[in-house]
Amino acid sequence: SQQGEEDPQALSIQEGENATMNCSYKTSINNLQWYRQNSGRGLVHLILIRSNEREKHSGRLRVTLDTSKKSSSLLITASRAADTASYFCATDSPFRNQAGTALIFGKGTTLSVSS
């Protein structure tokens, strides 16, 4: 049951440029999270934004949420080669009986930053 869909599927940029990834989802949510995955490794949490928030920052990361459009974006500013990874959005599932813990992941955006 896919909820979030990231766009684009793949993104290639040069070091120093900004990278923007988008996530669209289908049903209403309570919160949305972004995770990073380095090749073949476990996912690492980046940022969580609640449905009543519109924007959130963490270091070089900026996340926006537009609940009217059912979409979120992740902006990485001044990208570095170390930012090369796959990025996933994950939404909670209010329809699952998991007391707010269930996450549904999108298929991810693969970001490649070249030096």
Partner 1 sequence: EAQVTQNPRYLITVTGKKLTVTCSQNMNHEYMSWYRQDPGLGLRQIYYSMNVEVTDKGDVPEGYKVSRKEKRNFPLILESPSPNQTSLYFCASQIAGGPYEQYFGPGTRLTVT
- Residue of 10, 15, 41, 54 interacting with partner 1 (CB under 8 A): 41
Which among 16-24, 43-51, 58-66, 75-83 is the span making contact with partner 1, rule CB under 8 A? 43-51
Q: How many residues bind partner 1 (CB under 8 A)?
A: 28
Write the burial class of residue 111 (CB in 10 Å: 0-12 exposed, 13-18 middle, 19+ buried): buried
Instruction: Give the C-alpha distances (Å, rounded to integers) separating 41 from 36, 37, 93, 108.
Output: 10, 6, 25, 14
Structure tokens at 102: 């269930």
- Residue of 12, 28, 30, 114 interacting with partner 1 (CB under 8 A): 30
Residue among 44, 50, 20 at smallest CA distance from 32 = 50
Interaction of residue 110 with partner 1, rule CB under 8 A: no
Return residues touching partner 1 (CB under 8 A): 1-2, 30-31, 33, 40-45, 48, 50, 88, 90, 92, 97-108
